[in-house]
Amino acid sequence: MIRVLGTLGMAGMFVAISPKLRDSLGNYAVNAQDYLITHSPYSYAGLGIVVIALMVLLSRTATTSR
């Protein structure tokens, strides 16, 4: 858990100090939002299916023993 939080913190700091990366991530977020609005309600249903599938996949891999 600490490793994940540390990695996310370092990624967040890198985004905070890199204006070019911050702008490109902002543009991707705006484009994704425009796409969702343009193709609703189907895009929201697809996004929900993808999120649920990822949750099932991650919970399944987290419970397997190594």
Q: pLDDT per residue over 10-65, tens digit each?
A: 998 998 999 998 999 999 999 988 988 888 888 888 889 999 999 988 887 766 66
Q: The domain containing residue 16 runs over which residues?
A: 2-63
Query: How far, CA to CA in Å, does 49 sit from each of 18, 41, 60?
Result: 33, 13, 16
Q: How many domains are there within the chain?
A: 1
The whole model's pTM is what?
0.54
Q: What is the predicted pLDDT for the residue at 44?
A: 84
- CA 9-10-13 angle, 5° bins: 85
Q: What is the predicted pLDDT for the residue at 62?
A: 66
